[in-house]
Structure 1
Amino acid sequence: MKTICLYFEIHQIIHLKRYRFFDIGTDHYYYDDFENERSISDIAERSYMPALNAFQEMIKEHGKYFKLAFSLSGVGIEQLEMHAPQVLAKLQELNETGCVEFLAEPYSHGLSALANEETFAADVKKQAKKMKEYFGKQPTVLRNSSLIYSDDIGAQAAAMGFKGMLTEGAKHALGWKSPHYVYNCAMAPNLKLLLRDVDLSDDISLRFNNSDWDGYPLFADTYINRIASMPADEQVINIFMELSALGIAQPLSSNILEFIKALPACAKERGMTFSTPTEICMKMNSVGSLDVPDTLSWVDEERDVSCWLGNPMQREAFNKLYSVADRLRIANDPRINQDWDYLQASNNFRFMTTKPSNVGLDRGIYTSPFDAFTNYMNILGDFINRVNSLYPEEIDNEELNSLLTTIKNQGDEIEMKDKEIDRLKAKVAKMQAEEKPAEEAPKAKKTTRKPAAKKATAAKTKKKTEAEKKD
C-alpha cells in the first residue's frame, strides 16, 4: 500500500541592514527591524495562516487518516513570536490533533554541518529543545537546512540519536535507484533516509501556476493517479516543500489550497494512506544503504551546495565566520550567541551567489553579489572583534576552554554549597519550631495552678485569724 509523506518547512530570513565600514566598532546592531516585521507579517497573512487553516479543515474532515509534518527554524520561531504569534498558536492547535509531527533542524538554518561538528550538534539540539517546549515532544527525525546531506552528516545525525533524516532524491546520488523506498545511511545503518520526490514536489511548489508548463492545469485526481500508476513495490512518496509555496510562490488565486484539500479524498479512493516521517521510519525497513560521499541539497539543478559556497566570496565569508566557532561556543555569551544564530543563516551566503538559477532570487537591499559580500563582511568584522574581546586574544581556545571549565566548576561548587547552606538553615528552623512548644508547656502549667495556690493561701490566713480571736 502506498503512503504519502507531506512535509513543510517554515523559515524566515533575518534581514540585515546596510552596514558601512565606518560602523565597525561603533554599531553592534545589524538588523533591519522594519523589513523583518513587514516580511513575516506579509507571509503569515498571505501564506502561513491560510495554509494552516486549510490543514486544520482537512484533519477535521478526514480525522487520523490525513497526516503531515513540519519543521521550524529557531530564527523563524523568534520572528513569529515577535510579529506573528497567531501562526505558532495555530501550529499548537494542529499539534493537539495528533496528526502532525514536528521535526528537528538547525536552529540557525545555517551551514554548520559543513564546517564544525560540535557547532552543528549544538545548533540542532537548541532547536529540538524549542520544539519540545512548544509541542511537547522531542523530535526523532532530522531535516538539515535545505535538505543538505552527505554520509558524514548522516553519521553525525545518528550520533545525536535520530531515527531518520530527510534529504533530496537527487538523480546524481540515486543513479538507477528510486526515491520511493526507505534507505539507510552508508556510515550509520540505523539512520533511515526518506528521499524527496523532486518532480512531484516541484510540480506543486514551483510549476503549479505556470501556464506554460505541460502539466498545467494540475488537478488532484490527475496527481494522485500518477502516483497510483507507479510500480506496486514503490510505496513511499515523499513530497517536501517550503510552506510559503502555498500562497507566495503559488498565489492563493491559483486555487493551490483547493488542490491540496482535494488530495486526501482522491488518495483514499486509490487505497493510499498518509504517514509522518517517524511512522515510516518505524514501520518500514530499509532496502539498502545510500552512498552520498559528496554533499547534496534541494537547491538548483545541481542539487549541491554551490549556491552557498560556489564562489571565492562565499567561501571567504564562510571560512571567516566559522573560524570563531569553537571560541564562541566555549565563551557562550547570550548576546553574541543570538547574533551568531542570525549570521549563520544560509540566506546570507545565498545572496552572494554569482551562478544563474531557475528560481528567482530576491537579494533585498543588495544590488549585486559583491554588494551582499561587502555588507556581510563589514558586519562580520565587527562581530568577530566582539567575540575576541570577550577574553584576551593571547589566550588560545584550549587555554580558554580550560579557564572557563575551571570557572564553571567553581560556580557549580558554590551553587552546591549554597544549596547545602539553605538545607541546613531549613533544618535548623525546623528544629527550633519543634523545641518552641516544649519550652512554652511549663508556663502554661504554672498559669493553671496559680488560682488554686491563691485559694489555699487565703484559707490558711482565714484559719489563723480565727485562732487568734479564740485566744
Structure 2
Amino acid sequence: MKALCFCFQVHQALRLRQYRFFDIGNEHYYYDDYTNENIIRKLADTCYLPANAVLLDLLIALKGKFKISFSISGLALDQFELYAPEVIESFQKLATTGYVEFLSETDSHSLVSLKNKAEFIKQIETHSQRIEDLFGQKPQVFKNTELIYSDSIGETIAELGFHGILAEGAQHILKWKSPNYLYCNSISPKLKVLMRNCKFSNDIAWGFNFDGGLTTERFVANLNQLDEKEQIVNIFLNYETIGGYQSKETGIFDFLRYLPETVIRDSEFKFAKVSEIVSNYQAVSKIQIPVPIACVDKEQDLSPLLGNHIQNEALNKLYELNASIVKINDARLNKDWRFLQASDHFYFMCTKPFTNNNIHNNPFSSPYEAFINYMNILSDFKICLKEKDIPKITSTSES
C-alpha cells in the first residue's frame, strides 16, 4: 500500500515587548500581550477555526479514508487557552473522530535538544502529558522543534519509548536516497525516522503563488509520477499556511477540501497517521546524521537559528541559568524560563539576508535589536533568580 502522511505544525511565537536597558531591575514582565492576542485572534478566524471545520467535515464524511496528524507546541496551547479557547475545543472535536493523531514535541518549542538532555526530557514529558490530558492520546511519535534531528537526539527519543520521529528530508544527507521510504536511527534502530518530502510540502506551502496556482489534480498527478517502489510520502508543513501565509483568496481552502477526494479517486495512495507509518512499514536502512539538520531554511541546517555569534551568545547565556532554575523551582520564574527558551527569539536574531523573517512575523527591525532586547530581559531574569536564591534571614526577639 502507498501511504500519504499529512502532519501539520501548529505554533505561534510568544512575542516579547520592547524591553529597555532602564527596565532592568525595575520591570519583570516581558511579553507583548496586545500583539500576541491580536495575532492569535486573527489566525483563529482566518486559519485554525475554518481549517479545522473543513477537516472535521472531511473526517466524518470519509469515515477513515482520510487521516491527519498534528504537532501543537506548548506555547501555542498557552496562547489558545488565554486568547482563543475555542481553538482547543475545535482540535478536541477532531480528536474524537479517531482519525487524527497528536505528536509530542518540546513544550517550549525550544532548542534544548542541542544544549541540555535533562531539560530536553523534562520538556518532552511535560508536553506529552499535556497532549494526553487535552486530547486523550499518549503520543507515540516525536517531532522536534523545526524538525531538528541528529543520531544522538534520536537516541534520546528512543530511550523515552517513542516509536518514531520526524526529520527533514535534507538533500545533503539523503544524497541519492529518497525521502519516500521509512528509515531508522543509526544508534537505536527500533526508532523509525520519517523524512519530510520537501518538494511536495513546499508545493502546498508556496505553490499557490506560481504558475497559475496549485490544483488537487496537479498535485495528485505529481504523486503518480513517483517511482513505483517509493511508497511513503510525508507532507510536513505549518498549519498557518492555510488561511495565514496563503490567504483564502488563493484557493487554499478549496484545495484542502477537495484534495482527499482526488487522492482517493485518482491514485493508489491511502492516507495514514504518522504512527501507522511507523507500525505498518519496515525501515529500509539506517540513516546516519551525526550533525543536526533542520527545516528552517534552504540549507536545511541550524544556521538560521544558531548561525552567528549573537545567537550562540544568547542561547549559551540562557542555558547557563538552568541549574539555578532547577534549584530555586519558583512557579513564576519557571513560567518565564519556558517562554524565554522558544526558538523564535533566536530566529529573530538571524543575520542571513535570504531568510524570510516576514513568515515568522519578526517584530524587530534588525537582528541586533532582537538580541539587545532579549539580553536586557535575560539580565533582569538573572536578577530575579538571584533575589529568589538569597536565603531568607529570620530574626527572633527576646520576650
TM range (shorter): over 0.9
Matches within 5 A, 1:10-409: 10-205=10-205, 207-210=206-209, 213-214=210-211, 216-269=212-265, 270-357=267-354, 359-361=356-358, 364-392=362-390
In the TM superposition, what whole-angstrom CA distance separates every residue of 1:123-178 from its partner, at most 9, and x where no partner exists? 11111111011011210100000101111111111111110000100101111110
In 2, Cα distance between the equivalents of 1:354 and 1:271? 44
In 1, Cα distance between the equivalents of 2:345 and 2:52? 28
8 Å contact from structure 2 (residues 3, 269) kept in 1 = yes
8 Å contact from structure 1 (residues 208, 250) kept in 2 = no
Secondary structure of the corresponding residue to residue 65 of structure 1: coil
CA distance change for structure 1 residues 94 and 320 in 2, over 3 Å: closer, same or farther? same
Identical pairs, percent: 39
Secondary structure of the corresponding residue to residue 355 of structure 1: coil
8 Å contact from structure 1 (residues 119, 329) kept in 2 = no
**Shift, 1:330, TM fit:** 3.6
In 1, Cα distance between the equivalents of 2:224 and 2:357? 32
In 1, Cα distance between the equivalents of 2:328 and 2:149? 29
In 1, Cα distance between the equivalents of 2:213 and 2:288? 37
8 Å contact from structure 2 (residues 304, 355) kept in 1 = no
Root mean square deviation, CA, Å: 1.3
State the one-letter code of the partner of 2:334. N
**Shift, 1:359, TM fit:** 2.9
In the TM superposition, what whole-angstrom CA distance separates every residue of 1:334-371 from its partner, at most 9, and x where no partner exists? 11111011110011011111102253435644221111
In 1, Cα distance between the equivalents of 2:12 and 2:219? 30
8 Å contact from structure 2 (residues 105, 127) kept in 1 = yes
Structure 2: runs of 5+ lacking an equivalent: 392-399
**Shift, 1:63, TM fit:** 1.1
Normalising by structure 1, report the TM-score: 0.81
Q: Which runs of 4+ in 1 moved over 4 A?
A: none
8 Å contact from structure 1 (residues 208, 256) kept in 2 = no
In 1, Cα distance between the equivalents of 2:327 and 2:231? 46
Normalising by structure 2, report the TM-score: 0.95
**Shift, 1:260, TM fit:** 1.6
State the one-letter code of the partner of 2:207. F
Secondary structure of the corresponding residue to residue 132 of structure 1: helix
In 1, Cα distance between the equivalents of 2:157 and 2:323? 20
Matched residues, number = 389
CA distance change for structure 1 residues 363 and 69 in 2, over 3 Å: closer, same or farther? closer
In 2, Cα distance between the equivalents of 1:328 and 1:357? 36
In 1, Cα distance between the equivalents of 2:376 and 2:338? 17
In 2, Cα distance between the equivalents of 1:330 and 1:182? 42
**Shift, 1:291, TM fit:** 0.5
CA distance change for structure 1 residues 172 and 72 in 2, over 3 Å: closer, same or farther? same
8 Å contact from structure 1 (residues 40, 83) kept in 2 = yes
In 2, Cα distance between the equivalents of 1:385 and 1:292? 40
In 1, Cα distance between the equivalents of 2:68 and 2:283? 21
Larger radius of gyration: 1
Secondary structure of the corresponding residue to residue 108 of structure 2: coil
Secondary structure of the corresponding residue to residue 258 of structure 1: helix
Report 1 or 2 for greater relative contact order, CA contacts < 8 Å, sequence distance ≥ 6: 2
CA distance change for structure 1 residues 40 and 118 in 2, over 3 Å: closer, same or farther? same
In 2, Cα distance between the equivalents of 1:156 and 1:51? 34
Corresponding position of 1:438: none
In 2, Cα distance between the equivalents of 1:359 and 1:317? 21
CA distance change for structure 1 residues 86 and 294 in 2, over 3 Å: closer, same or farther? same
**Shift, 1:385, TM fit:** 2.1
In the TM superposition, what whole-angstrom CA distance separates every residue of 1:259-279 from its partner, at most 9, and x where no partner exists? 122111121122321000101
CA distance change for structure 1 residues 228 and 364 in 2, over 3 Å: closer, same or farther? closer
In 1, Cα distance between the equivalents of 2:303 and 2:99? 36
State the one-letter code of the partner of 1:209. F
8 Å contact from structure 1 (residues 104, 131) kept in 2 = yes
